[in-house]
Amino acid sequence: MGSEGPSVITVHITGFKKFHGVAENPTEKIVTNLKSFVEKKALPKNLVLGSCTILETAGQGALGTLYKVLESAIAGRENGPSAQGQIHFGVNSGATRFALENQAVNEATFRCPDELGWKPQCDCFMQRVPIVPSDGSISRTRETTLPITELTKSLRKTGYDVMPSDDAGRFVCNYVYYHSLRFAEQHGIKSLFVHVPLFLTIDEEVQMHFVASLLEALAVLN
């Protein structure tokens, strides 16, 4: 890139609706309000905020909307020179800090049905089901190509309590992230999943500023 400066990157954002045990999902509010929030904040010129979409808190039930977001990234790349990627936000109700998820695992061991009543089923005793059977074993992982260590360091320097993570769980967050990483790998785009705490733990204003800082860090490291 040199003297040309950082390349332009368009980032599409998703969050989730409420689910059992979490009556107010902070990611729904964050993603819904993000466009108006960043309009008041000067983001880097090489960063474009793309679509902001709320997914069902579901496995298969979220895929239709998820793939529309992913396909829009491909369409956006074809319409201009901008790099494309997506950030998925999910809540970890027991967390006390932010987590940047490095990978997803090809395993859907849901502890309970999702919000649409779906739960992966198989004939095996342990009910350990691959998300994508054609990918092989439930131990198969897919990793983000984004620089998690550098992003974590950058966000910590700005005062946020954030950590890298290799465990996105085995529920809806991991299910969506695995599909997203698989698509990203196949089509040469970027994908990241971020777990946030409840607003009771880290309030809404701080979380909104964190998301804006994450976007800024991505623009710098792009």
Domain count, the chain: 1
Band of residue 124 on the pLDDT scale cut at 50, 70, 90: low
Q: Which two tokens stand for residue 167?
A: 């465990």
Q: 11-44: per-residue pLDDT in tens?
A: 999 999 999 889 899 999 999 999 999 988 878 8
CATH of the domain at 118: 3.40.630.20
Q: What is the mean pLDDT of residues 120-136?
A: 78
Rounded distance between C-alpha atoms, residue 132 and residue 147, angstroms: 25
Burial label for 119, CB within 10 Å (0-12, 13-18, 19+), is middle
Rounded distance between C-alpha atoms, residue 169 and residue 201, angstroms: 20
In a domain, 154, yes or no: yes
Domain span at 73: 13-221
pLDDT, residue 123, reads: 54
pLDDT, residue 2, reads: 38
In a domain, 8, yes or no: no
Which of the residue ranges 21-35, 47-61, 91-105, 114-128 would you say has the lowest mean pLDDT?
114-128
In a domain, 101, yes or no: yes
Q: Which pTM was predicted?
A: 0.93
**How many other CB atoms are there within 10 angstroms of residue 94's CB atom?**
8
Rounded distance between C-alpha atoms, residue 199 and residue 3, angstroms: 42
DSSP assignment of 105-131 equals ES-B--SS--TTS-----SSTT--B-S
Q: What is the mean pLDDT of residues 63-79?
A: 88
In a domain, 23, yes or no: yes
Rounded distance between C-alpha atoms, residue 173 and residue 193, angstroms: 8
Parallel, antiparallel, or unpaired: how do β-strands 9-16 and 47-55 relate? parallel
Buried b (16+ CB within 10 A) or exposed e, 182-216: bbbeeeebbbbbbbbbbbebbeeeebbebbbbbbb
Q: Please determine, for residue 125, whether its predicted confidence score (pLDDT) is greater than 80.
A: no
User: If you count them, how many residues does the chain have?
Assistant: 222
In a domain, 6, yes or no: no
Beta-carbon contacts of residue 82 (< 8 Å; ≥ 6 apart)? 7, 8, 9, 10, 48, 76
In a domain, 100, yes or no: yes
Q: Please determine, for residue 3, whether its predicted confidence score (pLDDT) is greater than 50.
A: no
In a domain, 1, yes or no: no
In a domain, 3, yes or no: no
Instruction: Report the greatest alpha carbon distance in the chain.
Output: 59
